[in-house]
């Protein structure tokens, strides 16, 4: 690949999806965009660049989606989901007892395993949430991933990764060689296409945000911008969960680590010590 | 050191599983049928059992029933392995006392996440 094509694609991808690619990732461009070239009948990456410059229909989305990493699985890393069930949900049930409304955002939901994992936990907690209005908003840049998530069909491989057997038996039915998740769980989730580089305040305020394993692909400035805006979309006593390799430290003061819970963040308040000393649920 | 028992009538599966479990720092023994496995368990209960469902001489279900009914037999975590991709089979195994299931052919990643799910993951064997 020519340097010109690489530079063009690098800048292009960074602008469109935030993807930060160093020269060591050259191979990724070649291996992932080759198939896109073939699909659109383009002879080379140089031709692909031309097609992008001329805004040929469908090429932009195909290029951006081909370059995203969609790796995900049910209850990924387990701890954040334990924390959701054991810390955040009990907290919210107390803090939101007045309004009985709870809004959760899965900000890079990929093929749906993350929001469905949350939906399964909420279903288990249903007796404590009777009469509540609980909403999960799941967004991703990739329309292909969103379609897959909405379909709720998973392979043997996918349902074995992280999903406890009890939950498989309880919430999935077998369809040929795949597994369909209970459409009732899908009904709890509002799937929407969203690029995190673009404004998302139209989604409204959230109590709990899962933004996991997406910031790692962005450069520092983009990470800090996205985190800053997530903080703005967060209820005053809301919580944010990041991926195992992600942090807010050095990126924004708008979010700060929450006590001893690894990967859990709350709104940073330039507040009096009295406020900081107060436990979260008292802040409502 | 944590211990694992592989119960499978296929020598190939036993070999593959052994290699994976040993890299997870488990001390591994194996048996080719339920009867032999049960005798091993009576001598010493392992921490985790990788259990094949269809075997000559006492199949997985019979083994599990006998295991769970014997003293200390409630302790091992049982990962039941099947080529049957049938939700009914999985439900029966869970009902019969299995903790988790793995579909064959399984790979390292899946086996490791399943071990983690039953509490024998990285943190557990670091201890
Ligand atoms: C590795 S997956 C993470 C999925 C899930 N959150 C998890 O932790 O398992 C990353 C996802 O981020 C999405 N993504 C990448 N850039 C994005 C952007 N600018 N806006 C929204 N989603 C983006 C990709 O399409 C992909 O599905």
pLDDT in tens, B36-57: 999 999 999 999 999 998 888 8
pLDDT score, position A184: 97
Question: Mutate which of A76, A169, A177 to disrupt the B interface (most B C-beta within 10 Å)?
Answer: A169
pLDDT score, position A271: 41
Tell me the pLDDT of chain A averaged across its residues.
92
What are the structural domain ranges in chain B? 3-118
What end-to-end distance do the CA atoms of chain A give, in Å?
Answer: 56
The CATH class, in words, for B3-118 is alpha beta
CA of B16 to the centre of ligand 1 (A): 34
Residue of A nearest to B115 (CA): A162
- Please report residues of A whose CB lies closer than 8 A to that of B86: 174
**Quick one: average pLDDT of A178-188?**
96
CATH topology of domain A3-66: Chemotaxis Receptor Methyltransferase Cher; domain 1 (1.10.155)
DSSP per residue, chain A: --HHHHHHHHHHHHHHH-B---GGGHHHHHHHHHHHHHHTT-SSHHHHHHHHHTT-TTHHHHHHHHHS-----TTTTSHHHHHIIIIIHHHHHHHTTTT-EEEEEETT-TTTHHHHHHHHHHHHTGGGGTT-EEEEEEEES-HHHHHHHHHTEEEHHHHHSS--HHHHHHHEEEETTEEEEPHHHHTTEEEEE--TTS--GGG--EEEEEE-SSGGGB-HHHHHHHHHHHHHTEEEEEEEEE-TT---TTT-SSEEE-TT-TTEEEE-----HHHHHS-GGGG-
Note the pTM of the prediction, 2 decimals: 0.88
- Please report residues of A whose CB lies closer than 8 A to that of B90: 165, 168-169
CB contact under 8 A, A165 and B86: no
pLDDT score, position A32: 96
CB contact under 8 A, B110 and A173: no
CATH number of this structure's domain A79-274, picked from the four choices 3.40.470.10, 3.30.460.80, 3.20.20.10, 3.40.50.150: 3.40.50.150
pLDDT score, position A282: 45
d(CA A32, CA A133): 42
Is B91 in CB contact (< 8 Å) with chain A? yes
Query: Closest Cα to atom 26, ligand 1: which residue?
Result: A70
Residues of chain A with CATH 1.10.155: 3-66
d(CA A47, CA A161): 39
CA of A141 to the centre of ligand 1 (A): 7
A–B: how many Cβ contacts below 8 A? 40
Q: Which of B99, B94, B116, B78 is nearest to A78 (CA)?
A: B116
pLDDT score, position B107: 79
Residues of chain A with CATH 3.40.50.150: 79-274
Q: Which of A161, A165, A169 sits opposite B113 (nearest CB)?
A: A161
Lowest pLDDT segment from A98-107, B19-28, B116-125 = B116-125
Q: Could you tell me the sign of the dihedral formed by the alpha carbons of A54, A57, A63, A64, in that order? A: positive
Complex ipTM > 0.95:
no
């Amino acid at each position: 690949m020519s340097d010109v094509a690489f530079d063009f694609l690098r800048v292009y991808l960074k602008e469109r999806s935030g993807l930060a690619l160093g020269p060591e990732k050259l191979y990724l461009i070649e291996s992932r965009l080759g198939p896109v070239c073939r699909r659109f009948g383009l002879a080379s990456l140089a031709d692909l660049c031309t097609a992008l410059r001329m805004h040929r229909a469908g090429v932009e989305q195909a290029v951006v989606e081909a370059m995203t990493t969609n790796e995900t699985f049910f209850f990924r890393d387990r701890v954040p989901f334990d924390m959701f069930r054991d810390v955040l949900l009990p907290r919210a049930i107390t803090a939101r007892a007045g309004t009985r409304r709870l809004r959760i955002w899965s900000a890079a939901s990929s093929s749906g395993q993350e929001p469905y994992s949350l939906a399964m936990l909420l279903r288990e907690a249903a007796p404590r949430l009777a009469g509540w209005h609980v909403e999960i908003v799941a967004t991703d840049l990739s329309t292909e991933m969103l379609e897959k998530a909405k379909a709720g069909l998973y392979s043997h491989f996918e349902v074995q990764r992280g999903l406890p057997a009890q939950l498989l038996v309880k919430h999935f039915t077998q369809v040929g060689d795949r597994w369909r998740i209970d459409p009732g769980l899908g009904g709890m989730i509002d799937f929407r296409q969203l690029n995190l580089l673009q404004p998302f305040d139209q989604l409204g305020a959230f109590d709990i945000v899962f933004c996991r394993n997406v910031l790692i692909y962005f450069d520092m400035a983009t990470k800090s911008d996205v985190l800053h805006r997530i903080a703005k979309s967060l209820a005053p006593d809301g919580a944010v969960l990041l991926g195992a390799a992600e942090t807010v430290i050095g990126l924004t003061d708008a979010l700060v680590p929450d006590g001893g819970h690894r990967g859990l963040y709350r709104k940073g308040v330039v507040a009096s010590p009295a406020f900081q000393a107060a436990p979260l649920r008292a802040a409502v | 050191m944590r211990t694992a028992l592989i119960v499978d009538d296929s020598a190939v599966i036993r070999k593959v599983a052994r290699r994976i479990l040993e890299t997870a720092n488990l001390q591994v023994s194996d048996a080719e049928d339920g009867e032999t496995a049960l005798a091993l368990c009576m001598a010493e209960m392992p921490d985790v059992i990788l259990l094949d469902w269809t075997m000559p001489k006492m199949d997985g279900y019979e083994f599990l029933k006998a295991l769970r009914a014997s003293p200390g037999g409630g302790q091992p975590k049982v990962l039941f392995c099947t080529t049957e991709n049938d939700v009914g089979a999985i439900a029966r195994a869970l009902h019969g006392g299995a903790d988790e299931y793995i579909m064959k052919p399984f790979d390292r990643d899946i086996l490791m996440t399943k071990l983690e799910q039953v509490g024998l993951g990285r943190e557990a064997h670091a201890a």
